[in-house]
Chains A and B, each alone.
Chain A
Amino acid sequence: AQSVTQLDSHVSVSEGTPVLLRCNYSSSYSPSLFWYVQHPNKGLQLLLKYTSAATLVKGINGFEAEFKKSETSFHLTKPSAHMSDAAEYFCVVRWFSGGYNKLIFGAGTRLAVHP
């Protein structure tokens, strides 16, 4: 079965400092992995996705994530946080079964950015 674990429920950084949001996955085969962001009172937006091509994936708004099979990790990073990055972030694995697929979400990490 597939699952994801987001290791931090809350992360707080200062504006201009690096962001690291940690995610570990469990999958019985090569997974498809995603990061989604949800700003307050807004819908979910896809940040980036990994689908077995390059292990370093670049997304929108300066975010990137690195797929590390040996560590079963897919951590999200950004070199310099901006106030507008404050939001909730979800690590997601795509699960295949019986000819169809569904997304399995982690519990989320709430990112706070301080001036």
Chain B
Amino acid sequence: DVKVTQSSRYLVKRTGEKVFLECVQDMDHENMFWYRQDPGLGLRLIYFSYDVKMKEKGDIPEGYSVSREKKERFSLILESASTNQTSMYLCASSSSNYGYTFGSGTRLTVV
């Protein structure tokens, strides 16, 4: 069964901490995405990557960065976590024929 795995289901961090959210896919997909989900706002795209070491800003990249050193792994980095980054974070991957697979999400709380 193909899957996208997010390393943590729940995470609690302190304001100012550097936070890493990890995502791994086993489908050899070229494209990977990070979204955040907030009530009433749906999913908003933070960053995406269409190849190793390539990255593109999404709609709300401020306060975030990403890393893709290997095809199967896409990391989201919060350089200095703030309370307004408390949210559900969803990772997804897709192939060129646009089938998307989503991870189960990481619920991050910044206190």
Q: How many whole Å from A83's CB to the nearest CB in chain B? A: 23
Q: Does A44 make an interface contact (CB < 8 A)?
A: yes
Contact of B44 among A6, A32, A46, A105 (CB under 8 A): A105
Q: Does A43 make an interface contact (CB < 8 A)?
A: yes
Q: How many whole Å from B53's CB to the nearest CB in chain A? A: 15
A107/B41 in contact, CB under 8 A: yes
Residues A101 and B42 in contact in the complex (CB < 8 Å), given A43-B104, A44-B90: no
**Across the interface, which residues of A come within 8 angstroms of B50, CB to CB?**
99-100
Q: Count of B residues near A, CB < 8 Å?
A: 22
User: Given the complex of chains A and B, what is the CA–CA distance between A60 and B92 in angstroms?
Assistant: 21
User: Given the complex of chains A and B, what is the CA–CA distance between A107 and B41 in angstroms?
Assistant: 5
Q: Does B28 make an interface contact (CB < 8 A)?
A: no
Over the window 37-61 of chain B, the binary record of Cβ atoms lying under 8 Å from chain A Cβ atoms (1 yes, 0 no) is 0001111110010100000101000
Q: Does B100 make an interface contact (CB < 8 A)?
A: yes
A43/B45 in contact, CB under 8 A: no
Contact of A46 among B35, B100, B104, B105 (CB under 8 A): B100
Q: Does A90 make an interface contact (CB < 8 A)?
A: yes
Residue with the highest number of chain A CB atoms closer than 10 Å, among B33, B41, B44, B98? B98
A101/B98 in contact, CB under 8 A: yes
Q: Does B31 make an interface contact (CB < 8 A)?
A: yes
A43/B102 in contact, CB under 8 A: yes
User: Given the complex of chains A and B, what is the CA–CA distance between A100 and B50 in angstroms?
Assistant: 7
User: Given the complex of chains A and B, what is the CA–CA distance between A94 and B45 in angstroms?
Assistant: 12
A105/B43 in contact, CB under 8 A: yes
Q: How many whole Å from B30's CB to the nearest CB in chain A? A: 9
User: Given the complex of chains A and B, what is the CA–CA distance between A69 and B48 in angstroms?
Assistant: 29
Residue with the highest number of chain A CB atoms closer than 10 Å, among B43, B48, B58, B102? B43
Over the window 13-36 of chain B, the binary record of Cβ atoms lying under 8 Å from chain A Cβ atoms (1 yes, 0 no) is 000000000000000000101010
Over the window 80-106 of chain A, the binary record of Cβ atoms lying under 8 Å from chain B Cβ atoms (1 yes, 0 no) is 000000000010001000011111111
Residues in chain B within 8 A of chain A (CB atoms): 31, 33, 35, 40-45, 48, 50, 56, 58, 90, 92, 94, 98, 100, 102-105
Residues in chain A within 8 A of chain B (CB atoms): 6, 9, 32, 42-44, 46, 90, 94, 99-108
